[in-house]
Amino acid sequence: MMNKITVVGAGNVGATAAQRLAEKALARTVVLVDVIEGVPQGKALDQWQSAPIEGFDTRVVGANDYQPAAGSELVVVTAGIARKPGMSRDDLVRTNAEIVRHVSRQIKQHCPNAIVLVVSNPLDVMCWVAKQVTGFPRERVIGMAGVLDTARFRAFLAEALDASVEDIQAMVLGGHGDTMVPLISYTTVAGIPVTHFLSKPTLDKIVERTRNGGAEIVAFLKTGSAYYAPSAAVVQMVEAIVHDKKRILPCAAWLQGDGRGHRARQEAHPPVRRLAARRVRSVRHVLRGALQAGPQRTGEDPGSEAVAGRAGGAQEIGRGGEGDDGRSQPQAVSRKSATHLPRSPLRLAACGLEPPSNSPDSAAR
Ligand code: NAI
Ligand code: 2OP
């Protein structure tokens, strides 16, 4: 159990995540922070009053500032706006980058040793903003999306197979959107390859539905996006961290390609390189949009150094890539290493579970 976990953003995902964290007693205190006066306090009080019925002792407290969050060991960032019908996750980038930048500064000040779990969309870019602004080491800034995408994939497969979700083993890597990669060759039903049970057209449909899993829910809800499965995914990751379960879960992470194992895997698996290249393009695209307004902010306030660094980083990525501004890992990226490293450091990692080049997963992409 941790002493304190903070959830920033007391909206749908944040409030539901806080409730789940408390019910699982993953911390002594769960702090819910939001900018809207009264909302985090009211929701936290309501959740705390469910404790005698649900049988947990975790105190849930709400606040509009970060004082109660001070010293949190883990901070979940769900602050931001959610998608409406017709919007892509990337449409949220300008607004949410500002929000996550502000939140990250607060985290850096009040929770300097925290692990930051980012949820706000577009996920990869928001992870990058959080990492740049906090300056935390890369292993302390991770993003949730793959666990959610994997859960959706498993749920759809279980439905098609009329089997228990518990007996479907799968892993979805790639971006949280069009570049999502459900690894069909690693998908099994009680250990038996799923291709024994489902035809390619059926699997293709399930892959497509998984890719559009978020949009399908937005189309139903109309006023917001999914939150039950996303909050469950957050809590699975938090639980893995709190109990140091050694789980292998897909997550967004800043990869610099400087680990020997990582480089060896890159060389061994051409599809992963292709995936990386695709992600470089997608991140570049998003960053260009996000940073058009960037330069005029330079020098605006102490935090603008991060914005300038971000803009510089993005331009470098666009030019072919020296990546990191070196603040958090000054040893890591050099001009020399950048020539053979992935040009965008943002990629999903799943500890050696990359598909071989002739796998069905290459087709799925
Ligand atoms: P929501 O609109 O219900 O809640 C967002 C909350 O953030 C609101 O209560 C708002 O007041 C608060 N907020 C805004 N600015 C803030 C600030 N500066 N400090 C603290 N709180 C602030 O949205 P929802 O459904 O909870 O989604 C939150 C974010 O998570 C969205 O960006 C959404 O796209 C993303 N998301 C990501 C998923 C993923 O797989 N990575 C899955 C589901 C949602
Ligand atoms: C989802 O996939 C909106 O990213 C969110 O539901």
347 has a pLDDT exceeding 80: no
Nearest 10 degrees: Cα torsion 76, 80, 85, 91: -110
**21-25, 102-106, 242-246, 252-256: which has the minimum mean pLDDT?**
252-256
Give the whole-number percent of the chain exceeding pLDDT 70. Answer: 70
**In the prediction, which pLDDT does 336 show?**
30
Active site residues per annotation: 176
**In the prediction, which pLDDT does 98 show?**
96
- 37-58 mean pLDDT: 98
Among 147, 18, 129, 145, which Cα is nearest to 72's? Answer: 18
What letters, b where the CB count within 10 A reaches 16 and e where it falls short, cover 252-264? bbbbbbeeeebee
Token digits for 118? 């980012």
**In the prediction, which pLDDT does 177 show?**
84
Pocket (CB within 6 angstroms of ligand 2): 83, 89, 121, 176, 213-214, 217, 225-226, 230
- Is the beta carbon of 13 within 6 A of some atom in ligand 1? yes
- Model confidence at 277, pLDDT cuts 50, 70, 90, reads very low
**63-77, 110-124, 324-338, 349-363: which has the minimum mean pLDDT?**
324-338
- Is the beta carbon of 252 within 6 A of some atom in ligand 1? no
Mean pLDDT of the chain: 77
Neighbouring residues of 245: CB distance < 8 A, sequence distance ≥ 6? 239
Helix (H) / strand (E) containing 125: helix 123-134
- 70-88 mean pLDDT: 91
- Model confidence at 6, pLDDT cuts 50, 70, 90, reads very high
Which has more pLDDT, 327 or 240?
240
Q: How far are the Cα atoms of 113, 114, 303 from residue 109, in angstroms, in the given order?
A: 10, 11, 12
Domains of the chain: 2-136 (3.40.50.720), 146-365 (3.90.110.10)
Angle at CA of residue 206, ends 179 and 365, nearest 5°: 30
**108-117, 154-163, 250-259: which has the minimum mean pLDDT?**
250-259
Whole-model pTM: value is: 0.77
* Segment 204-230, tens digit of pLDDT: 999 999 999 999 999 999 999 999 999
* 145 DSSP assignment: S
Report the separation in Å between the CA atom of 225 and the middle of ligand 1, taken as the mean of its atom positions: 9
**Direct distance between the N- and C-terminal alpha carbons of the chain, in angstroms, rounded to an integer:** 39
**In the prediction, which pLDDT does 86 show?**
83
| Closest-lying ligand 2 atom to the alpha carbon of residue 149 | 2
Sign of CA dihedral 346, 347, 348, 353: negative
Ligand nearest to the CA of 13: 1
Which has more pLDDT, 261 or 80?
80
**In the prediction, which pLDDT does 360 show?**
53
CA distance 134 to 113: 10
- 97-124 mean pLDDT: 97
Supply the residue whose CA is at minimum distance from atom 2 of ligand 2. 214
Which residue shows structure tokens 């964290």? 21
- Model confidence at 312, pLDDT cuts 50, 70, 90, reads very low
Angle at CA of residue 138, ends 34 and 173, nearest 5°: 85
- Model confidence at 55, pLDDT cuts 50, 70, 90, reads very high
- 110-115 mean pLDDT: 98
Q: Are 153 and 127 in contact (CB under 8 A)?
A: no
Report the separation in Å between the CA atom of 164 and the middle of ligand 1, taken as the mean of its atom positions: 31
CA distance 114 to 87: 32
Ligand 1 pocket, mutate which of 8, 93, 94, 225 (most atoms under 8 A from CB): 225
